[in-house]
Amino acid sequence: MCVIFFYTNSDPQPGGYRLILASNRDEFFARKTVRATEWPDADHVVGGIDLEPGREGGTWLAIGSAIGVFKVGALLNLTGEPKPRDAVAHKNILQPNNQNNNSHNSGSSSSSSSSCNSKTQENNEHFLLGRGMIVADFVSQFDEPNSSLNFNQSLLKDCTKYSAFNFVSIEIGPKSLPAQIRLLSNVPPTLNEFEEGKCYGFGNSLPGTPFEKVRFGQKQFSNIVTEHGAASVETLSTQLLELLKNKKKFWPDEELKRRAPNWGEELSALNVHIADRGYGSRTHSVILVDTNNKMHFFEENFDPEMNSQEPWNLGTVVHKHLGGI
């Protein structure tokens, strides 16, 4: 279970922001992960990196920049959908000895299969394409085939090879052009486009049937953008992190109950924590890009091995000018 809220304005007023984004990653605490950082083999990208066997190199949220454009990609699981079994695992550009930089565009499952080694397939019990690779490929590559529209149209053709997902993509270039915002869902396969200048919120259901916590979060996010959208980075990020830490359960929730009948109530808060299952909102992320194209990436991580009174730590603060923009 994850949530993301964001606002884009390609040409904001002085003191405003081209991107305001807040997101929670819900995952098992034991899943091995590299915290948000510049990627070692793609230093134009900042984000976390999944180290789960068979999923190495993927990510749930990242931002990349080049040639006058910056991109954000986010992957949200679609809860309660069955897993397809007609797909194969593949490797990502961050993994060594990978010659296929954009595996989901390979055109067939057989060519994807040829790019992965036996160890990767053994570790991937369902032989599914790793969804986190979608984000990694999108934010890493800036040629025309990987522009927002082309990337999403290509992905739409192959999207049933993955477990159920929502893929959020944001592309912002020159200030004279509006941001491109798209959400691709694969159950059923759909591609929706959204206008800039509005506040959006998405979670682990289809956009037309949001969970109650997403409805609440989007409204609160919109209030924060209205009140603090021209405030300092410190003030705005503090407000957004406070929203992500909200533990109130928005229950009952008919859509969440339908998708997760056994765990719905425990998953109904923005900040999920199920201690006996070792699962919850393990990462709070805020990304801000100001009018001068300086990016501010804040990340707080839950570490169950830390002192029980202070289990959270400020894992990452990255301040970086998005080169070439």
pTM of the model: 0.86
Distances (CA, A) of 72 to 139, 154, 206: 6, 18, 20
How far is C-alpha 304 from the chain's CA centre? 23
Count how many domains the chain has.
1
- Rounded to the nearest angstrom, the gap between the alpha carbon of residue 92 and the centroid of all alpha carbons in its chain is 17
| Domain enclosing residue 195, as ranges | 2-321
Q: Tens digit of pLDDT for each residue in 11-36?
A: 999 999 999 999 999 999 999 999 99
37-93 pLDDT, tens digit per residue, is: 999 999 999 999 999 887 888 999 999 999 899 999 999 999 999 765 544 444 433
Q: What is the pLDDT of residues 225-279, one digit of tens each?
A: 999 999 999 999 999 999 999 999 999 999 999 999 999 999 999 999 999 999 9
pLDDT digits (tens, 9 = 90+) for 177-205: 999 999 999 999 999 999 999 999 999 99
Q: What's the CATH number where 163 sits? A: 3.60.60.10
- What amino acid is encoded at 46 in this protein? V
Fill in the amino acid letter for 159: C
CA-wise closest residue to 97 among 78, 115, 75? 115
**For the chain, what is the mean pLDDT?**
85
Q: Do 25 and 283 contact (CB within 8 A), yes or no?
A: yes
